[in-house]
Amino acid sequence: MNQLPHITKAFTFEGEVVSTGLYGNGHINETHLVICKDGDKERHYILQKINKRVFKDPAGLMGNYALVTEYLRAQILARGGDALRETLTLVKTVDGKNFYEDETGEFWRATLFIVESDSFDKVERPEQFYQSGVAFGNFQALLRDFPAEKLVETIVNFHNTPDRFRQFKEALAADVKGRAASIPEEIAFVEAREGFMHLFEDAHAAGKLPLRVTHNDTKLNNILFDKHTGKPICIIDLDTIMPGYAINDFGDSIRFGATTALEDETDLTKVNFDISLFELYVKGFLEGAAGGLTETEIGFLPEAAIMMTLECGERFLADHLQGDTYFRISRENHNLDRARNQFKLVSDMEKALPEMHKIVEKYAK
């Protein structure tokens, strides 16, 4: 059944909409699968309501989205690829725009659904993680010459870890739900690492860490894999493409993928950093980036894994303190569970740091 007729009629979908339904496991946007019948052909689309609390400038965001997808399309075509599968394709509205603003002020966009594809919340085969490293490394390489000044910053200070700490302290001071008293250990865990959080900002200020055009949300379920070959086809979730540090794209993938459990597993005995997956991703990412990283960037890869995992855990914890207004939850204390899970990984990585450096050195040669 088409539960969103007032929205779907605004887009140039081909055929008649026969059903719409919620889709995927993203924490931010509201994602729907739209199925249309066009004669005997079935056409699938993704329709998303952009989360306005998270993205304050949806029109600016959609400007980025259109620029980046057009840029990627040209690059993919130039190398003889299939642009309809290897990047997202926006479906225009009936009045020729890239997004639709409904009568309540909500923003919607639609893209072609990439058929015969899967996304994963957990690594299913080690080879898959290696391939995702190649794909994200290559994605950065593809965007190396993209004119960064054309992009709006869709979330200001998105991976500015010291600023995330400041926001965490604000949430803690406000303690609007009265939850702080019950989580002293988690709060102490974050506070003990405040010094470390400055590492990249300091290196950048000293001219040692360049800003590049980065994806900024490189978790495994933001890649679509071909159902038949198992190979990555398309990088999705382009909402946070903006200037950032290349190493954070690496780190965020490790955070989500180089673990033995899902991001919200509550049994922490099952949550372990998997250094063999780390190694596979290092190999893939460096191959995909094809020599595009500086020595300093490569040297920071292990710290980036810790930084992104710590920052994400801290963001989950801040959201728990704030009353779960940012990340979508589906149970009580969901964000607290996610934070504990991330902190367990941080502890594991801190212990494994010398070994992680050795691995990076091996592949950097």
Residues near ligand GN1 (CB under 6 A): 26-28, 54, 217, 219, 222, 237, 239-240, 263, 312
Cβ-contact 35, 42 below 8 angstroms: yes
Site residues for ligand ADP, window 229-248 (CB under 6 A)?
Answer: 236-237, 239
Q: Which two tokens stand for residue 122?
A: 């957990």
Alpha carbon dihedral 14, 17, 19, 22, in 10-degree steps, equals 60
Least spacing, CB of residue 243 vs ligand GN1, in Å: 16
23 binds, among ligand GN1, Mg ion, ligand ADP, none (CB under 5 to 8 A by kind): ligand ADP
Least spacing, CB of residue 237 vs Mg ion, in Å: 4
Q: How do strand 212-214 and strand 117-118 relate by DSSP bridges?
A: unpaired
Distance between CA atoms of residues 242 and 157, nearest Å = 10
Distance between CA atoms of residues 165 and 74, nearest Å = 39
| Strand order across the 223-226 sheet | 117-118, 223-226, 232-235
- Assess 69 for contact with ligand ADP (CB under 6 A): no
312 binds, among ligand GN1, ligand ADP, Mg ion, none (CB under 5 to 8 A by kind): ligand GN1
Least spacing, CB of residue 311 vs ligand ADP, in Å: 17
- Assess 132 for contact with ligand ADP (CB under 6 A): no
Q: Whose Cβ is closer to Mg ion: residue 250's or residue 256's?
A: 256
Least spacing, CB of residue 286 vs ligand ADP, in Å: 25
Distance between CA atoms of residues 108 and 130, nearest Å = 34
Element (H, E) at 45: strand 41-49
193 binds, among ligand ADP, ligand GN1, Mg ion, none (CB under 5 to 8 A by kind): none
Can you tell me which residue has the tokens 């940012």? 326
Distance between CA atoms of residues 333 and 295, nearest Å = 41
Q: Whose Cβ is closer to ligand GN1: residue 217's or residue 314's?
A: 217
224 binds, among Mg ion, ligand ADP, ligand GN1, none (CB under 5 to 8 A by kind): ligand ADP
Least spacing, CB of residue 222 vs ligand ADP, in Å: 5
Distance between CA atoms of residues 69 and 89, nearest Å = 7
Q: Whose Cβ is closer to Mg ion: residue 120's or residue 273's?
A: 120
Stretch that binds ligand ADP, among 8-16, 24-32, 75-83, 163-171 (CB under 6 A): 24-32
Cβ-contact 187, 165 below 8 angstroms: no
225: closest CA among 82, 75, 120? 120
Q: Summarize as ranges the residues that interact with ligand ADP (CB under 6 A).
A: 23-29, 31, 46, 88, 111, 113-114, 117, 119, 221-222, 224, 236-237, 239
